[in-house]
């Protein structure tokens, strides 16, 4: 299978080339040239399959030209080595916990999958690859962990100074080796703009092979569809139509869920739950897509003013607003509302949610007001300990800190401060020498 640029002004490429390039030369995101639905029997008997079997069947058509089944299974076994439980909140609501991986965030799967794919491709191609990635929080730690010591791959992570949690910062600034953290005086949008600019800078692209590990990269984005299949496997017995509420920033996670739906996963509806960075909720109200500068919130991984992956969602539905609205609702919430939801989940259901999961819960509550006969699953995308101060201050209780986090917090932070694109460019050119 080949992948094409959504801007349609660049040549089609293989999965391997799409992963290595990250973004097309015309600045478009890559998208699979076809999506073949899986047999109905697959979903009818999904509860009898292991997670590895589900993932192998789901992603095979997209990667099989470049990765054979034996190697693909090996990659998936390395990536999906932890649990993805759906925890019941009440009879109509569950939460899919995606924080049981090595960095306690949902991005461990996509980062691990991409790292192993690049490692596999580097066995055939000895040219060094530089992974350039912007993070609003969890991406950095997941990418750093996933790519640590991968031969032939150097990783440069840009993050907004003072706008990620202490734990998130330590996870991306303390590993060393082939991982470098650049602390940007600005917002996540500034970081993301720098990364996108670098991919179009011929001074850089002529000197080195750049790729991205943000969810714009197909190897980071596509594996996220596994979550929705794993959740369906657990919730199928509820006997109700299933809806998913996804805390959304760059919209990669929810877009991957829609790919799972295109493959035949029985999902009634998706809810994109955001904080005050509400470009998509406003689009769903006005039909006008108007990006704006992002604002800092307690759910910082969603502090995105121009979500990269929303163009993929529009493409899935041929940019037909009525079709988008049939499958997607979107609501935004303030920090105050988020904290109230965290308190409610803790006091009423004895469940400790992080701020992102709480936003997902709020969106699900809103949707179920008019759709009460559904079983709703909101995604809990990060361990609450990653937002320790906010969580403990909100629920007025101490939460247990995992031992691996305690060890990491004791390590010394190492980062390079930059303010402009030229500083990023100079760093990359000097590092190449």
pLDDT in tens, 244-295: 999 999 999 999 999 999 999 999 999 999 999 999 999 999 999 999 988 9
As a whole number, mean pLDDT of residues 182-210 equals 91
Q: Any idea where the domains of the chain sit in the sequence?
A: 84-104+221-395
Q: What is the mean pLDDT of residues 62-86?
A: 97
Alpha-helical regions (H) of 135-206: 138-147, 166-173, 188-199, 202-205
Mean pLDDT on 338-359 = 98
Strand segments, DSSP code E, in 91-134 are 93-97, 129-134
> What is the mean predicted confidence (pLDDT) over 296-321?
94
User: 3-class DSSP state for residue 210?
Assistant: strand
Span 14-41, average pLDDT: 94
Percentage of the chain exceeding pLDDT 70: 99
pLDDT reading at 125 higher than 80 = no
State how far the Cα of 405 lies from the Cα of 95, in Å rounded to an integer.
23
Q: Is the model's pLDDT at 199 over the cut of 80?
A: yes
Which region holds residue 310: left if phi is over 0, alpha if psi is between -120 and 50, else beta?
alpha
CB 171 within 8 A of CB 147: no
| pLDDT recorded at residue 165 | 85
Element (H, E) at 226: helix 225-235
Question: Distance (Å, rounded) from C-alpha 188 to C-alpha 190?
Answer: 5
Q: How many alpha carbons lie under 13 Å from residue 207 in its C-beta half-sphere?
A: 16
Greater confidence, 126 or 303? 303
pLDDT at 55: 98
Using alpha carbons only, give the angle 60, 65, 68 rounded to the nearest 5 degrees: 65
Rounded mean pLDDT, 193-209: 91
Whole-model pTM?
0.90
User: Directed axis angle between helix 335-349 and helix 388-395, to 10°?
Assistant: 60
CA distance 365 to 275: 15
Residue 345 vs residue 433, higher pLDDT: 345
**Where residue 433 falls among pLDDT bands split at 50, 70, 90?**
low
Confidence of residue 119 (pLDDT cuts 50, 70, 90): confident
Strands (E), 262-390: 269-274, 328-332, 374-380
Range from 134-138, 187-191, 335-339 carrying the lowest mean pLDDT: 134-138
- Residue 298 dihedral angles phi and psi, to the nearest 5°: -75, -15
Q: Give me the count of residues in the chain.
A: 433
Which tens digits make up the pLDDT trace of 146-193?
Answer: 889 888 889 999 999 999 888 889 999 999 899 999 999 999 889 989
> Would you call 420 helix, strand, or coil by DSSP?
coil
| 139 against 100, higher pLDDT | 100
Residue corresponding to tokens 């109230």: 340
Task: Give the integer Cα–Cα distance in Å for 379 and 251.
Answer: 13
Judge whether 210 and 132 are in contact, CB under 8 Å: yes
Q: For residue 84, what pLDDT is reported?
A: 98
Q: Which of the four pLDDT bands, split at 50, 70 and 90, describes residue 385?
A: very high
CATH fold of the domain at 84-104+221-395: Rossmann fold (3.40.50)
Closest CA to 332 of 210, 255, 249: 249
Q: What is residue 265's predicted lDDT score, i.e. its pLDDT?
A: 98
């Amino acid at each position: 299978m080949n992948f094409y640029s959504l801007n349609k002004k660049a040549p089609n490429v293989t999965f391997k080339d799409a992963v290595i390039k990250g973004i097309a030369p015309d600045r478009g995101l890559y998208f699979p040239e076809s999506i073949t639905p899986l047999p109905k029997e697959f979903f009818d008997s999904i509860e009898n399959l292991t997670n590895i079997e589900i993932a192998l069947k789901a992603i095979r058509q997209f990667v099989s030209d470049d990765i054979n089944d034996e190697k693909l299974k090996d990659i998936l076994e390395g990536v999906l080595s932890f649990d993805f439980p759906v925890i019941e909140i009440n009879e109509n609501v569950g939460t899919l916990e995606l924080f049981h991986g090595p960095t306690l965030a949902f991005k461990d799967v996509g980062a691990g999958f991409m790292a192993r794919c690049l490692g596999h491709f580097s066995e055939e191609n000895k040219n060094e690859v530089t992974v350039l990635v912007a993070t609003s929080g969890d991406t950095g730690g997941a990418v750093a962990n996933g790519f640590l010591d991968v031969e032939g791959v150097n990783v440069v992570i840009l993050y907004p100074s003072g706008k990620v949690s202490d734990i998130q910062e330590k996870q991306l600034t303390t590993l060393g080796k082939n991982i470098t953290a650049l602390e940007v005086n600005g917002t996540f949008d500034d970081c993301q703009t720098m990364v996108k600019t670098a991919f179009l800078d011929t001074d850089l692209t002529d000197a080195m092979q750049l790729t991205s590990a943000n969810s714009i990269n197909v190897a980071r984005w596509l594996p996220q569809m596994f979550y929705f299949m794993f959740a369906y496997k657990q919730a199928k017995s509820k006997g109700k139509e299933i809806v998913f509420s996804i805390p959304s920033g760059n919209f990669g996670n929810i877009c991957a869920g829609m790919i799972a739906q295109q493959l035949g996963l029985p999902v009634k509806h998706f809810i994109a739950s955001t904080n005050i960075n509400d470009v998509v909720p406003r689009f769903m109200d006005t039909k006008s897509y108007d990006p704006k500068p992002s604002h800092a919130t307690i759910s910082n991984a969603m502090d995105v003013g121009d979500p990269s992956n929303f163009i993929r969602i529009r493409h899935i539905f041929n940019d037909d607003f009525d079709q988008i609205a049939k499958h997607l609702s979107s609501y935004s919430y303030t920090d105050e509302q988020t904290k109230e939801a965290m308190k409610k989940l803790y006091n009423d259901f004895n469940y400790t949610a992080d701020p992102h999961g709480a936003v997902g819960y709020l969106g699900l509550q809103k949707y179920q007001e008019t759709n009460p006969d559904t079983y709703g699953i909101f995604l809990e995308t990060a361990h609450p300990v990653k937002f320790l101060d906010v969580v403990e201050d909100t629920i007025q209780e101490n939460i247990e800190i995992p031992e691996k986090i305690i060890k990491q917090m004791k390590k010394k932070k190492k980062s390079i401060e930059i303010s402009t694109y030229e500083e990023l460019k100079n760093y990359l050119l000097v590092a190449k020498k």
